[in-house]
Structure formats: C-alpha cells, structure tokens
Structure 1
Amino acid sequence: MIDRQAVLHIPLSQYAFINSEISITLRIRVARDGLTRCVLHFGDRVCPSDPVIFSSLEMEKVATDLDFDYYEITFDSPYTRVCYYFELCDSDERLYLFADILSKVLPQERSEFYQYPFMRREEISTVPDWLKQAVVYNIFPDSFASEWRFIRGTPSETGWGSDVVLKSKLGGTIRGITANLDYIADLGFTCLYINPIFAAGEYHKYDVLDYFNVSPNMGTNEDFHELVSQAHSRGIRVIIDGVFNHCSWYFFAFDDVARNGERSKYKDWFYDLRFPVIRPENESIRPTYSSFAYERKMPKLNTSNPEVREYFMEVCEHWIRDYGVDGWRLDVANEVDRTFWRAFRQRSRAINPESVMIGEIWESSETWLQGDMFDSTMNYDFRKNCRDFFGTEAINATEFNARVTKMNYRYPTGILQGQLNLLDSHDVNRFFSYCQKDIRRLRLAEVFLFTAPGTPCVFYGDELGMDGDHEETLRGPMPWDAPFHDEREFFRTLVTLRRENKALIYGSYRALFMDEDGLYIYRRQLKEHTVTIALNARNHTAKLEDMDPLTDPMMSDGFEAGRLAPFGYAVWTQ
C-alpha cells in the first residue's frame, strides 16, 4: 500500500518552478521504495474543451534519503497556464494526487487540480550566470597580506576622530590584496569575496563607523579602486561585505543619540532605544538598546525606517557605481527588514543588472530566495555535512547522502546552482581542524566542494593547509613563507576541472552508490557529458563493484584496479 503520510507536493515552490518561459520542473516526495511508477499528467488550465485534455509523462526517481524518494520531471510545456496531477502506483494500488488530495478517482472540475497559474518571466531564477560559474576566494583583509607574499603579523592602532581608535591585529591592507592578485589568479579563482573594508574600530571591521570610506588603517579609497580595477583586468569579480544590521556605537547617528537623547533627529534610526542611551563600558551591564548578539558596541539599526533605508541605498549605489564592485555579501541578513532587501536589490540591479546579493543565513533560506531579495546564501549546511562525513566520521555515506539530498532539494535548480558552498569562513573553525591532522580528509572535502551543485568558496589559506579552532588561529596570518601543507597544485587542478566541465555547473546530481561506511559515488550530467566521482572517506580500501567506468580516471589519488585506497578519490569524465 502507498504510504499516504509520506506524499508531499507544494505548488509554486521548490517542488514546482519554471526554468524559462516554456520549461517547468515538477517534483514529488514519496516514501522510500514506496512506488513502482510515478506519472505526471498535465494540461492547459484554460483550454476551451471540457474536461481538460491531459498529456502524460513518466517521472524519474532522482534522489533518496533515509525516509523518502524524490521524483522529478523537467519538460517544455506548450501551455503558459498549466494544471496537473500525479498518478502514484505500487504493486497493489493506484492513487491520484491533486490539490493535496489523494484519491482513487479524479475530480470533476479543472479548478481541483494543481495549478501553475501563469509561467511568468518574472518568476524565472535571475541568479547571474557568472556567479554559477564562479570559483570564489574569501579574504579576511587584516590577516591576508601587507605587501607581496607578506603579512606584517603585528598589531597597530590608528586614531580616528577624537574618541575612536582603529585597530589592526595582523596588518593586512587593501594594497596587500592587490599585490597578490597574481597569486589568486594563478590558482584560477574568478571572484573575490572580501570581508568588511569600511572604516571600523575593531580589526574584524564589523563595527562600522563610516560606510562611504575604506578604513584608513587598511588603506584609502584610491587603493580599493585600484584593487577592483586590477581584479577586473584579470577576470576576477569583487564582492564586498555589507554590514547593515548594526553599526559602531560611535557611528555618527548613534553618537548623536547617545549625546542628545530624545532630542536627536536620529532617535528612530535604532532598534528598541530606551532613554537615556548609555554606552556601558562594563560588559556585564545590559545596554538600553538592541544590539548584534548582545555586543553592546554594535547597536542594531532600524532598517524599516525610511531614512535609514535611503541612507543605505546610497551606500549600495556608491560602491557599485563609483567603484565597480560586482555584488554584496550581506551580514546577519535574516535579522534585517525584508522590505529593505527588496529595495536594496532594485537599487543595485538598476546600476548593474548582474550585481549579486549573497545573504548570511545559516539555516534553510527558501523565503529569502524567491527572486525578490537574495540571489544566494552562504551554505553552512554544506560545511556541516562535509565536517561530519569527511572529518569527524559522525555519519556514514548513506547518512551523508540523505543530508545532501535534503540540502539539494530545498531550492529550485537555478537557485541551487548559485548557492555559496563553503567548508569554512571567518566565523567557524578551519575545516582542517576536523581532519584529525590528515590532509587526505581535507582533499576529499575539497573534491566534493568543487564537484557538488553550487558555487565553491575557499577561505584564504586553506590551500596552504591552515588549521584553527579559535579566533586567533582560524583568522590567523596567511602562511606565505611556511605553508602547513602546500595544496596549491591540487586546488589548481580542482578549479580547472570545474571550469572545463559544464556538467559540474549546470548538470544534474545523482547519487549512484553509498554504503553504511565511507564509500560514496555520484554523477553530474549535462546532456551526454558526465562527470563521475568516487570518494572513500574511511581508513581502509574500498571496492568499486559494478561501477562503470572503473578504469582510467582523469584525476585520482589512491585508485587502482577498481579499488580506492583509504581516503582516496577518483574522477572520471565522459
């Protein structure tokens, strides 16, 4: 019998979306191994005949997790207005699914079927193609470089106004990044994501003082203009960090509120102000205003205030128009007013139709990825899943596949292809810290990063084996002169693999084999072109039984005669 509780289809969602004005994708979830056949029936929802004339298409089982199977079909529709239903079969039963009803008989009226009201071009994913094709290098400016192949590594302080000191911990500068663009280009990266560069007090630069200027202890506006120009000349895009949820407590508007109280014209610029506004020096004293994660020095901005919104729209336009940045990574994006993000998108796209918005959202982000706000989000679930499979061995290959399936099928295809996949960042431990000092584990995770759906993002120094499980080390100095593990050639190979195989950018993802241990095999396919990847994430040899191809991988480590060595991998292209 068909398990009715497991059946799920959600209209106008990641289960029903369009890829063009004629192409539509429909998905359905059912119990694992619960069907022998799944058929889509679709027709013209406004056809003049009655009843509606339906066409039938066999659906493909495309993925499986621990509990469910996922069926999918993508097809060109001759109709712009579509009604549809599903036919579900097992060995004993046939049921029809229409409008969230499972029944043995079909409804009488066309309005009772599922509907895709109109295949509007505005509903097509508009993630810029360059982001899907990009390989991203993430730089934490204070830690990367002071000059060519060098980071000073010592702290400094620079005065700013009468009350503020700008801090640097390791001495990285904008010019230091520019001086090492040849290094980044040689590795093959096509996009820089740079953590905050605006004038700010702390070394991390998330307590912003001035949104229109580069932090003076990091460089000048001219330095940044030169960085973007030089990056673009090498075919490298530039994404900068936008911190609009909060600011420094010495930001001009908050400073005015602290000094003038309720008489300040900026009193509505901040969230939950209570007067008098006091900047407590003692960390144990709770401030009389909302702040970022209880960080009293970072008061929370009221982004629903029209004046605040317009101020930051001008910031947005300034950096795109005057400096040519290609997009934004947006800090604490899920705590900011959504109307703010919709306006931000309109203003940025008006200047550069291919500018991107990447939200820092750690959880599932469906509601922010509807085409009216972000193009992408930072995929921290990707990191977590890789950590638990390749690093700590908390999960086996079957469990890893189940997580990957859920991760991949929570978004429409066009959105998935632009997700910013990462293994680490300035906010989490270095991935190598989970690898039990075995560089082979990191290599496996990097192979998956570069061959899974989405845009790969590498944190500076991972290619040199950087470790770190606390702030001082995970944001440590770039080891220019003394790499812990020199993996640069390996990264070049991965970048080349991805750039030369469009199946790794646009192709389907199918798990071919996974076991209760560490062997995981999957395939990316675009038309006739395939890339097949086998990963052995355990410390013993794995047999690749009944797999095709089994010989002559174009890239491998530990593959021989149908076997994978411990922590080995193999990649075949066809």
Structure 2
Amino acid sequence: MEKSAVYHRPSDNFAYSINKTTLQIRLRTKKADVQNVKLLFGDPYIWENNEWQIEEMPMTLSGSDDVFDYWQVYVSPAFKRLRYGFKLQSDADTLIYTEKGFYETAPLDTDFYFCIPYLHQNEVFDAPDWVKNTVWYQIFPERFANGDSSLDPKDTKPWGSEKPAVNNFFGGDFAGIIQHLDYLVDLGINGIYFTPVFKAYSNHKYDTIDYMEIDPQFGDKETLKRLIAECHSRGIKVMLDAVFNHSGYYFPPFQDVLEKGEQSPYKEWFHPHSFPLTGGERPNYDAFGFVESMPKLNTANPEVKDYLLTVGKYWIEEFNIDGWRLDVANEIDHQFWREFRQEVRSIKSDLYILGEIWHDSMAWLRGDQFDGVMNYPFTTNIKNLLAKQSITGQEFIENMSKVYHNYPKNVFEVTFNLVGSHDTPRILTECEDDEQRTKLIYTILLTFMGTPCLYYGDEIGMSGGADPGCRECMKWNEEDQNLDMKQHIQRLINLRTNERLLANDGEIEFLLPDSPNGIFGYRKYTEDKSIVVLVNSTDTEKSYSFTEPLSDIKDIYSGKTYTGSSVTLEGYGFAILNY
C-alpha cells in the first residue's frame, strides 16, 4: 500500500457538515491501490469497561482522477462530536490510518484519532437553497436590447450596425431588458446575472465612477426597481456585479488624489507608490493588472470599507436584489469579505454571494465569505474536451472528479458553471462553428452539478471572438437565430427543472469510458432512482456496455427506449437514461 498517497484532514473538503446533524467524510488513496476502506469512529466520551467504544462503517469509492481514488461516507454523530480514523485494505496489507499515522491495529487511545470537537449549527455551510435550482442568464446590458432611445449616449450606433469595439455604444438599457423578460421565461431562465450597471465611463462598466448611481444610459433607479419587480413576478432572481477591487479613473476620490497628491484626504483609499500619480505602461500605483484607468482600492482602509459595505447593503435594501457577483474577488483581503458577508446577510439571509476566482478557492468557501465561485475549471475542461479537442473523455472525467473532490459536496452544488462570458470568445466560435459539439457542451452544462449559466445570445448560436468580439448586439430577428440550438437548450432546461436528479439532488458517480476516447458519463442517484448521462465526445459512432442488461430504459431527451447490455451513440451523441 502506498502510504504517502493516503491523505485526510478533518476540515474543508475532507470533513464537513452537510446539515445540522450529518458529516461527510472523505479519504484519498493512490489510484487502484486500496480495495476497501472503512471508517472507524466513536464518541470520545463513551467508554465501557475501560475501553473506547468504536464502530465501523464501509466507505464508498466516490471517484478517481489520474492519480488518486476518493472515498466517502456519511455519519451522524449522536452527540455532535466525533473521533475517527480509517481501516484500509489492499491485496497485501490492512492498515489503520489516524491523525498520528499508520498502525497495524486500531489504537485504544482516542487522542490518536482525527477529531471533530463539535458540530456547531452556525458553522454549517448555508448557501441559499434556491441557487441549486437556478439556471442563470448573463446579460451585458449595453448589448442586450435598446428599449428607450432617449437614453442613448452620444454617437450611439444603430442596433447591430457594426462590429462591437472597445469604445462603441448601441444603447442597450433596462427598458429593453424588461421588454424581453418573457423571452427568458420561455427559454426556462430563472436567474439573471447582470454585468455592472453603475455609472461608469466605458461600455462594459467595470470602471465605476459612482457606485450609488445607475449609469444614465441604462435608465434610472425607478426603472431598475421596475425591472427587478418584473423579474421577481416571473420567478426570476437578480444578481448584480460589484467591482470592489478597483474603481474607475473618473471615480471622484481618485480624481482628487490625481489633483492634490499627498494633500488629498483620499490618498489612502488607493495604493500609491509615489506622488504625483502617473499612469502609462507601469503606473506608480496599484491597479487591476497594469490598467491605469482601474486603480486598486485599499479595502483595508476603514473609510473605503465603510463606503463599499454601504454600497453592498444599499442595493439590497432599496432594490431587493438576490445576489452579488464579486469581480476580481481573490485580490481583496479576506477580512473585508468576512465583514461583507455579515453585513449583507443581516439584511437578506438568502442572498447569493458569488466570487470571481479562477483558481483553487477553498479559502473563500468555508462559510464565512462566499457561497460559490465561478467554476472556471469546469469551463476549461469542457472546452478542452469539445472545443479544442485536446483531452480525451477519460481525462475529462478524471479532471472533473478531481475538481469535484476539491470542494465539499454542498459547496459544489452552488458553484457557478459557465462555458462563455463577456470575457471569452463565444462558445460556438471556440467550437469552430460546429453545432453538434456546441450542443453537446450544453448537454453537459445543463445536466451537471452546480448552477449553470448561459451567456446572452449563445442559445441562438451567436458567434464572435475574444473581447470585444463576444459582445455583439443580441439578434432579435428570428431569421438570424439558430432556433434548433435554442430548442435544444430549452428542452435541456425543461428536463433539468422537472427532473431534480439532473440538477443537484442525490449523489454523483463518474463513469469512466472503457477506452480513453470511449463513451463516458455520470450517474446521478438516490436510493430508489438513477439518471445516467452518457456522452460520445468523438465524431464516430461508439457503444457503452453496462454490467447489467437494460430492460426498457427510456432516454428522457429523445424518447428512445433501450434494451440489452449496451447503448450505441452516434458521433457527438448523448443519452439521458431514466432508471
């Protein structure tokens, strides 16, 4: 047995509360090295005849990546505390693994074991339950619909009359969004994520001038209130984008520092290296990247903190928003986010707090900061599988198994899964305009765990390269829309909405292919029901064999019924089997 590969820690993604009474405990071992694992556990204060009372419970192999196997079990301590270890069996060895190392027999001293001192109810991860049942739609307001031309900025171009650029405007606004809310309802959307709507200089609005005002090209506060009310009346949640890492160049406090230098009362709102402030290729102040027009805010400064926390609360109190998406969240100090969560959750207890983080995010997901992060590892792997075609189906499953086990299950259920955004080329373009590959990406997105998001226009087959090419005006003429793509996505959303196993109910089991590029899949299941999603990520017909023959098993997408020991899928085909 490879002892160096065996790993557990009594926290984070290896031991965590699923609810007020139940823990999920995980263990990592070398791939295909251990045949059987049992959890050894007991209450540290229950002894009989001077012997600690220890129980055994079998653990389930919950997934494998290219290097490791992962095991898991649920346990409900009667007195909300636990000491535990693991019994590992391989062909050659049986070992006991505890906090203090490996032993041939189980130690009798409870101090040798991993410890959960107490299950505190206020430490249970408490992301809003509604998020697990949400299908999001990202709207870049400037490019979705122009409903009130009286608000158009100077030199606004006729809708869709030219290619998107970093500095052109087409007049998208709140009125246009309100006019098309029923389109989103028909699609099956029940959550909208808006990129920034606050007063800013650019068309993308990530360079805020005033965090307490709506950009006049979108409308006014009353129009936003009406938009949110119209959304809520249709069962649609609303999430706004907060850019707290940096302000815009024309943010009045930054202008004051530019003008007054060291004499400015706002100099500590930012991170100047010297005075006077100068921009250019390497500004002498911290910024988002080296972008001189986006100076970094000092969120440790009490005045800045108070200002931004007021902003965070104001749009909840006055407009009843349902979520904050936090831009460049990893570059802001953890203490700020802890206070942010306390403040905004004191106003709305089921507010969704979503961080933009591209790397391992466990440090932000311990229940004291964010509810979820944007799941870019999912984005990367699904694009590598079907857009770039640089990994096999086996590698996709192994990679996603690793990502899944990097987080607690109840955290992964509210991660924000996306395949395109205002920052990336359109997914159809990334798939070289191959509609079948693009459809298959949406099949996986809309049947996988997490909360999925569509980027506006992707559902009708819009194309475009990297920013600004991905920010084209929404095409509202049906003659310009790929209705087949739209109907595919509509059907998948409908299935996800009506069959909760296609969302976040139950457990997930990853199904490896029988060859690297064979059919792969995943099974979502409870004690009495299973849904199996099978995917052929190649352009040639392939078959998947089951260990037990199928008996009139229905594909709930196509309506086809399968009987026998295997399922055959055409190139880029899929099946959603209801057991």
TM-score, normalising length: structure 2: 0.93
Cα contact 1:345–1:372 (8 A) shared by 2: yes
Give the whole-Å Cα distance in 1 for the aligned partners of 2:561 and 2:204.
43
Give the whole-Å Cα distance in 2 for the aligned partners of 1:143 and 1:559.
43
Query: Which of 404, 409, 415 is the matching residue for 2:405?
Result: 409
Corresponding residue of 1:24: 23
Corresponding residue of 1:483: 480
Question: Relative to structure 2, which stretch is displaced further, 553-562 or 260-269?
Answer: 553-562
Query: Which of 346, 357, 363 is the matching residue for 1:361?
Result: 357
Corresponding residue of 2:190: 190
Question: Relative to structure 2, which stretch is displaced further, 228-237 or 480-489?
Answer: 480-489
Give the whole-Å Cα distance in 1 for the aligned partners of 2:215 and 2:559.
45
Cα contact 2:47–2:53 (8 A) shared by 1: no
Corresponding residue of 1:556: 558
Change (3 A) 1:394 1:188: same
Corresponding residue of 1:433: 429
Q: What is the CA deviation profile of residues 274-311 of structure 1, one whole-angstrom value per residue up to 9, with x for unaligned ones? A: 21124x4xx44x32211111100111000011110000
- Percent identity reads 33
Cα contact 1:167–1:201 (8 A) shared by 2: no
Corresponding residue of 2:163: none
Amino acid at match of 1:5: S
Query: Which of 423, 429, 439 is the matching residue for 2:419?
Result: 423
1:363-378 pair list within 5 angstroms: 363-378=359-374
Give the whole-Å Cα distance in 2 for the aligned partners of 1:506 and 1:480.
35
Q: Does residue 492 of structure 1 match 2:490?
A: yes
Cα contact 2:285–2:295 (8 A) shared by 1: yes
Question: Relative to structure 2, which stretch is displaced further, 47-56 or 29-38?
Answer: 47-56
1:282-431 pair list within 5 angstroms: 283-284=280-281, 286-431=282-427
Give the whole-Å Cα distance in 2 for the aligned partners of 1:566 and 1:169.
42
Change (3 A) 1:100 1:132: farther
Cα contact 2:245–2:331 (8 A) shared by 1: yes
Shift of 1:492: 1.5
Corresponding residue of 2:235: 235
Question: Relative to structure 2, which stretch is displaced further, 329-338 or 474-483?
Answer: 474-483
Shift of 1:174: 1.4
The total of aligned residue pairs comes to 559
Shift of 1:271: 1.7
Q: What is the CA deviation profile of residues 398-452 of structure 1, one whole-angstrom value per residue up to 9, with x for unaligned ones? A: 1111101011111111111000001111111222222132111111111111111
Shift of 1:377: 0.4
Amino acid at match of 2:130: W
Amino acid at match of 1:29: R
Give the whole-Å Cα distance in 2 for the aligned partners of 1:395 and 1:557.
30
1:69-468 pair list within 5 angstroms: 69-147=69-147, 156=156, 169-278=169-278, 280=279, 283-284=280-281, 286-468=282-464
- CA RMSD for the aligned pairs? 2.1
Cα contact 1:154–1:171 (8 A) shared by 2: no
Corresponding residue of 1:536: 536
Corresponding residue of 1:160: none
SS at match of 2:487: helix
Give the whole-Å Cα distance in 1 for the aligned partners of 2:574 and 2:362.
33
Give the whole-Å Cα distance in 2 for the aligned partners of 1:499 and 1:152.
38
Corresponding residue of 1:510: 509
Change (3 A) 1:6 1:93: same
Cα contact 1:447–1:494 (8 A) shared by 2: yes
Shift of 1:154: 10
Give the whole-Å Cα distance in 2 for the aligned partners of 1:123 and 1:502.
27
SS at match of 2:244: coil
Q: What is the CA deviation profile of residues 142-201 of structure 1, one whole-angstrom value per residue up to 9, with x for unaligned ones? A: 1111139xx9999539xxxxxxxx965232111111111111111111100000000000
Change (3 A) 1:167 1:36: closer
Shift of 1:108: 4.3
SS at match of 2:88: strand
Corresponding residue of 2:7: 8
Cα contact 2:423–2:466 (8 A) shared by 1: no
Give the whole-Å Cα distance in 1 for the aligned partners of 2:64 and 2:80.
31
Corresponding residue of 1:474: 470
SS at match of 1:546: strand
SS at match of 1:495: helix
SS at match of 2:504: helix
Shift of 1:488: 1.9
Provide structure 1 residue ranges, at least 5 long, that are not aligned to the other structure. Answer: 158-165
Give the whole-Å Cα distance in 2 for the aligned partners of 1:497 and 1:316.
35
Change (3 A) 1:525 1:155: farther
Cα contact 1:199–1:214 (8 A) shared by 2: yes
TM-score, normalising length: structure 1: 0.94
Question: Relative to structure 2, which stretch is displaced further, 6-15 or 294-303?
Answer: 6-15
Shift of 1:474: 1.0
Shift of 1:47: 2.6
Give the whole-Å Cα distance in 1 for the aligned partners of 2:561 and 2:519.
13
Shift of 1:556: 3.5
